[in-house]
A and B are shown apart, each in its own frame.
Chain A
């Protein structure tokens, strides 16, 4: 009878196949529909339609244009009549007094050439702006009457913004602002300003062959010093910040591995027969892992203050939990035969661990360690932004000023390069140390090479 029960008729088989098909069809359409439904829910939960209204696209535009271009300010103090030039309007980018870029002619009437026929003249009384195809705008600032502007046409175009005390003209060539106290012209250039040398350096504006020539004639140190102490880009501080970030990752990862390895033995079934200790160690690992780097950073920053040490310790504590878990899993999977083999030669306990256990788990340990070294470089950037250390701090500072977007772009490029470099380095080291790690079938390892690492 039982054989008959499994011996289904054609109809039953067909019905079953139909059921299977409809279930698969349901899965095939149901799953994407579920994902879609969730995304729609998130769309409204995050108020994405509202974002479009709240978003400040002007901010975005400044951000993008500022990240690859800079502006030079030519400013006239209308009370004293002094004209000064500064890159980005910053003091550290200011031209020495009485000097200006070569497209500005200083004098009683300062003539600023914005190219393509756009010329601005700062006269003793009036400011004039020649705009090709439109005409000349005249503005007379005075303390009593505000800014009196004359336009060639009756209709004021929308790129000119005029009020009693202020005139602003924005064209493709630049921007002119006149108020009672000052007249100011911005001219935009592509590139990162003063990246190599600031204006007060004798090497500013020199071509590369000339610099190379000077370097050859013994000015190498001075040239490098001027570059290294560049006030605008602070290359020295940036290099230190990157070093700090990598240091955080390095100390945190290796420190965590050193703390976690002995503890991992306590959390394994085959090395630690005491169930209560095993349980307690595992819960400790779960706890430090669960508390998360964010909370550790907050707590440790209170004790140690901001800096790379706090970041390193936060990484160390969090990763101790992760490493403890991974290492203890690896240790539970070791082959008992090798340990017995070592024991049969009369080895004592430390020797058994050293020659029976460690060589078996080294590949797992190392590959995890190197993987975390790379991922912690990224974490160190993030933690640095919170606790105040390394490149993460510089990045947040540059973003907070909301105007140094070229520096933000520079830091982002550096961070990406740093992480990619660490990724490549850890991959290279992994391949060197653990041969055949990438392949599924582990090739016989060269015993000479490994022993160098663990004496």
Chain B
């Protein structure tokens, strides 16, 4: 007891040391904050300087274009339903690009993830290779592949589909392999002991464990891919984005069409977001209920 009190410094000293430490931390924090603000400001100024129009002039004009589009669309509100119907095929194409790309990407991603998970890989020595492959796939922005493929294959939905599928395969490959790592290997061993081959082990032993998570991630990816497929349409890959660019390049007089496309795209994105949110919720929480029932 006496040792303890003798060894500990007096209260004043503790308090001084504590305030000194607190002050030091506050100074460090302040320096970091100043550095951060300076970086943001410098970055903003650089971006502003390299932009064609400056922020100061532009921000008052932000609503000019939407107002123009909306007022013209409002004048021609009677044609809106006809416009919406006219662009429905383009919307279906955009959705098809996203869905097909998600499907193909998910299949490819499943393969990549199984190949890069320890205990499941067909060639265990090639695990690092498959990991790098999915890293590279993930790093390629869709537009790069799409533009190159448009040059070779011509415009249309297929280049966009392939481009999105490759990126999706990489992104899902990483997420799926994280899921795989949490899966139990016991069913796989059990299946192996009865002589199942690799594909049987994976299909019967791994996929049922990871299925709900896979579907949940794939749905999330589907949301993202709809946006991506709209953007790729803008560079010539078909679908809503392509129609939007055409309607925009016509300029005034066709703004009602642009407004219809904006509306379709907006509604689609919101609806798919909500739907996949509900579905994913049910998948992650519903599976527990299913197990107990």
Contact = CB atoms under 8 A, between A and B. Distances in A.
Given A46-B161, A244-B47, A423-B139, A303 B65 contact: yes
B53 A305 contact: yes
A255 to B, nearest CB: 7
Contact of A304 (B53, B93, B140, B154): B53
Contacts of A46: 96, 100, 156-158, 161
Given A46-B157, A247-B47, A304-B52, A294 B40 contact: no
B293 interface: no
A389 B231 contact: no
A402 B64 contact: no
Interface stretch (B6-14, B22-30, B76-84, B119-127): B22-30
A303 B68 CA distance: 12
B53 A303 contact: yes
A379 B141 CA distance: 8
A212 interface: no
A74 interface: no
A451 interface: yes
Given A35-B103, A247-B46, A378 B40 contact: no
B144 A45 contact: no
Interface string A39-62: 100100111100100111101100
A139 B231 CA distance: 52
A37 to B, nearest CB: 11
A455 B32 contact: yes
A167 interface: no
B241 A244 contact: no
Interface stretch (B55-63, B184-192, B283-291): B55-63
A294 B231 contact: yes
B199 to A, nearest CB: 13
B220 interface: no
Nearest to B272: A290
B2 to A, nearest CB: 32
Interface string A62-93: 01000000000000000000000000000000
Given A309-B55, A415-B141, A416-B139, A302 B65 contact: yes
A382 interface: yes
A264 interface: no
Contact of B29 (A312, A408, A454): A454
A304 B50 contact: no
Nearest to B65: A302
Contacts of B115: none
Given A293-B227, A423-B139, A396 B147 contact: yes
Interface in B125-159: 135-136, 138-144, 147-148, 151-154, 156-158
A55 B154 contact: yes
A378 B138 CA distance: 10
Contacts of B142: 382
For the residues of A in contact with B, the DSSP-based class is helix
A308 B51 contact: yes
B4 interface: no
Contact of B62 (A57, A300, A454): A300
Contacts of A388: 52
Chain B CB count within 10 A is highest, among A45, A244, A294, for A294
B253 interface: no
Contact of B26 (A293, A415, A455): A455
B248 interface: yes
A303 B58 contact: yes
A381 interface: yes
A302 B61 contact: yes
A295 B265 contact: yes
Contacts of B151: 59, 63, 399, 402
B167 to A, nearest CB: 8
A386 B58 contact: no
A381 B52 CA distance: 18
B235 interface: yes
B147 A305 contact: no
A149 interface: no
Contacts of A130: none
Contacts of B278: none
A57 B154 CA distance: 10
Given A59-B151, A408-B148, A303 B269 contact: no
A290 B135 contact: no
A423 B234 CA distance: 27
A306 interface: yes
Given A291-B266, A415-B139, 19 more contacts: A54-B153, A63-B148, A289-B269, A291-B262, A298-B248, A303-B59, A304-B51, A305-B51, A306-B51, A307-B52, A307-B53, A308-B50, A309-B54, A385-B143, A396-B235, A419-B140, A420-B136, A452-B32, A455-B26
Which 4 A-B residue pairings sit nearest by Cβ, starting from the closest? A455-B29, A307-B51, A305-B52, A305-B53
24 contacts: A38-B99, A39-B100, A42-B96, A46-B100, A47-B156, A51-B156, A63-B148, A247-B47, A291-B266, A292-B230, A293-B227, A300-B62, A302-B61, A303-B58, A305-B58, A308-B51, A312-B47, A381-B143, A386-B235, A388-B52, A399-B147, A415-B140, A419-B138, A455-B26
